[in-house]
A and B are shown apart, each in its own frame.
Chain A
Amino acid sequence: MSTAPVKFYQVGSFAVGNRLLPPDQNSIQSDSERTNALTSGHRACQGCGEALGARYALDAAMRASNGKMIAVNATGCLEVFSTPYPESSWRIAWLHSLFGNAPAVATGVAAALKAKGRTDIRVVSQGGDGATVDIGFGVLSGMFERNDDVLYICYDNEAYMNTGVQRSGATPPAARTSTTQAVGPEPGNVFGQGKNLPRIAMAHEIPYVATATVADLRDLEAKVTRAMEFRGARYLHVLVPCPLGWGSASCDTVRIARLATQSGLFPVFEAERGEVVSSTPIRQRVGVEEYLKLQARYGHLFSPKRRDDIIDHLQANADRNIARYNLINADTKNADLPEKGVL
């Protein structure tokens, strides 16, 4: 009788927990004793991806730092919904200053801790895509350049959601925002603009850069944990769908993040000192349309007239990511997408 050990666990590492695995092999989020860095009662919208992403990331950072951590927050949704005076949802040491200076404040906190000989206390700085790719971009680049001992986490919901869905440097092409009509004949954002901050961070050759989404918790936790193993400047870019700004159903937040990765539009990878060291392969490839059609911000691509030209352009962008980050391997289902129109 064969006694080969069973390595199959029903939900494997895809689900948050798994009763068949020992506790130390489960996700941090499956633990009832998780930090809950961002606790209940916050005023984020129903189904907020950023609230979810922040708790995932900070709970993992708290685990990695044994609870010795200070978080600096830029202005933005995350700050506004979590800390309306006199309430706070934070259960960690947390500091807010201005919209554009979070990386500089974090640099200062790290320097102060170093001066006090408390380098055992780790520093995390965080903000939305507006604070990161636009308003705080200069000081963030400076923090990278100086290789200050800070993990910077950007929760990317691809526009200024808190102030009414204005375009940011992270808004993807073709997505409609409240300000994109002004820059061209199309209601959506133009192609060929915007910034790819993970690649900009890599260009600084800092110790660690990674991307993640709220759709793959284990991957996100692993990347935070890995980032905390380094000293110096580290950058984590987390895709967090926004039901309000993206015009999606609140129940679809995780699904949309998953479709972003499985279509190739959002590549999930990690890089050390400027070089990509790994990427997360697509498991079940889908066409970009599967991702786009759940979001009202792309509604103008499907009605009143279907815009195959734009959809094809977005598909080409996804295909470029797939090639660039090597996102398809032998286990990928539907590695070859069906012909156009039968998706």
Chain B
Amino acid sequence: MEKPFAITLEVESSLANHTGSWRVERPQYVNLMPPCNNACPAGENIQNWLYVAEDGSYEAAWRSLIIENPFPAIMGRVCYHPCQTVCNRAQLDEAVGINSVERFLGDLAIEKGWSIPITAQPTGFHVLVIGAGPTGLSAAYHLRRLGHDVTLRDAATAAGGMMRYGIPKYRLPREVLDAEVARIANMGVRFQLGRHVENLQDAIDEGFDAIFLAVGAQIGKRAYIPAGEAARILDAVSVLHDVEDGQPPLLGRRVVVYGGGNTAIDVARTAKRLGAEEAIIVYRRTREKAPADDGEIQEAIEEGVLMKWLSTVKHAGADTLKIEKMELDEKGFPQPTGEYEELEADSLVLALGQEVDLSLINNITDLEVRDGVVKVDPTMMTGRAGVFAGGDMVPAERTVTTGVGHGKKAARNIDAWLRKTAFEKQETPSIVEFKDLNPWYYSDAPHAVRPRLEGARRASTFDEVVQGLDESTALYEARRCMSCGNCFECDNCFGVCPDNAVIKLGTGKGFEINLDYCKGCGICVSECPSGSIIMIPEKS
């Protein structure tokens, strides 16, 4: 073609110039491990279900949540939310109220009656789960979802284990517990309640393909305390159990609870509700060193429970206790001081921990017991092939959430064992720290504190203490999530690239780097709010 004057080359777009050849590093989209997910004892993908909830897709969010945990409504009340302790948002303003959003989703599911269809092919295997506490229920749920037949057996006449007989109603209303248990029953799990398994061998002989033991730890530990004849000493587990059975024990006007764990707090708060004028917790160490959840301690104090830190009970009389003051030594251990005081008390409740009732495995020699708990291998199998164990009866932190996690892990390993394969746990990607984020982009937002009943009012009843979020506040809370290490499609990378080298793939599909033009400047990485892009060196 004839070219204009002084023009020798065809005019063309700069797209012919592939500036990608300048690059020595390239950006790469990644999915990293948010600290909340990493801390969750039940292995929930918290970041994901919050992300789904953020646009109001609550059912989808709930369905994402229950892939890992069948009890959102229970968790939203009783979980001590280690996820929030490690939440990166705490370094910006306050941790995301993950627990309250979980409860909101759980309550909504109960209200709407969302159910869980079994989509897996029936396997023909039949698994017996012994113990209908959080661990056993979780195992039954996950086994059922994997297509197995499940029979769940428990000595008590109602399912729930410590969720029913240990956790007071004011923390976990029974209609919530019943609703989430009923959902598991509706999935086809066969419940055999009021059926105590006295001897594991008999159960084995019934011919199940696998057995999961989750009988918990229900025997209150006794400490030797010299006591007068008229002293009234009870153990915390029995007190809570009797209250649940509608036969609360007589505790008197002044109740002293000995111990610093969550059970001690539960008993002291229950005693207040049963009419005690004074409920006093005596613990040998300090508040900071007490194993109880600090939020629970705070709520107890607000309700008028008195705390006597650095104290031990030396003698129990008919209506007085002899208390010795303690002090912490250099290593932080409490040491006696020889200073004593008298404390008026009508009853003393011991909350010094619980032990496992191992009578059902007494005559089975290949189940190894160490320090009062059953030894299991990394797949949660005991020394007897096909017999697995989890929850409080194996070495672990004794919380509902840990139990739920054990149930899931056991179910996946039982499933693998039955299918003669191995359950492959995915490799954990690196954990996202606050410094990996670009917090500038997150809106400033304070934490929507859950409305709480006035301490004075709540102490007198078993009404639920912590009230839930409503829809707007739950949504607000979900949107405070910073989505650590996972793209939430804010379009920053697409916007800030000076070379127009980020391709937007469309809603839900994320982005792609156009390596023909990406010069590797790294602005997309710097300006990614959630730390979901990293730079990797080009191969030379």
Contact = CB atoms under 8 A, between A and B. Distances in A.
Interface string B342-360: 0000000000000000000
A25 interface: no
A20 B483 CA distance: 14
Given A10-B488, A85-B9, A87-B12, A47 B523 contact: yes
Interface in A5-34: 5-6, 8-12, 14-20, 26-27, 29-30, 32
Nearest to A253: B523
Contacts of B496: 16, 52, 254
Interface stretch (B196-204, B252-260, B400-408, B436-444): B436-444
A88 B526 contact: no
A41 B517 contact: yes
A62 B479 CA distance: 33
A48 to B, nearest CB: 5
B491 interface: yes
B17 interface: yes
B14 A14 contact: no
B145 to A, nearest CB: 30
Contacts of A252: 526
B520 interface: yes
A284 B54 CA distance: 26
Interface residues of B, number: 60
A38 interface: yes
Interface residues of A, number: 56
Interface in A250-267: 250-255, 258
Contact of B500 (A39, A47, A284): A39
Given A6-B476, A47-B521, A12 B471 contact: no
Contact of A2 (B9, B10, B472, B516): B472
A16 B479 contact: no
B441 A41 contact: no
B12 to A, nearest CB: 6
Contacts of A42: 14, 17, 19, 499
Given A40-B517, A55-B500, A253-B523, A88 B54 contact: no
B55 A19 contact: yes
A89 interface: yes
A217 B479 CA distance: 22
A82 B519 CA distance: 15
B64 interface: no
Contacts of B12: 86-88
A49 interface: yes
B525 interface: yes
B14 A20 contact: no
A16 B470 contact: no
Interface in B415-474: 440-445, 470-473
Given A6-B479, A30-B494, A250-B521, A20 B440 contact: no
A213 interface: no
Contacts of A251: 521-523, 525-526, 535
A9 B500 contact: no
A5 B472 contact: yes
Interface of A: 1-6, 8-12, 14-20, 26-27, 29-30, 32, 36, 38-44, 46-49, 51-52, 55, 82, 85-89, 217, 243, 249-255, 258, 284, 331
* Closest 4 pairs between A and B when the two form their complex, measured CB to CB: A17-B491, A16-B495, A251-B522, A41-B14
14 contacts: A9-B479, A19-B488, A27-B495, A30-B491, A32-B504, A40-B516, A40-B517, A41-B16, A42-B17, A46-B22, A52-B497, A249-B522, A251-B526, A254-B526
Interface of B: 7, 9-19, 22, 54-55, 440-445, 470-473, 475-476, 479-481, 483, 488-492, 494-501, 504, 506-507, 514, 516-517, 519-523, 525-527, 529, 535
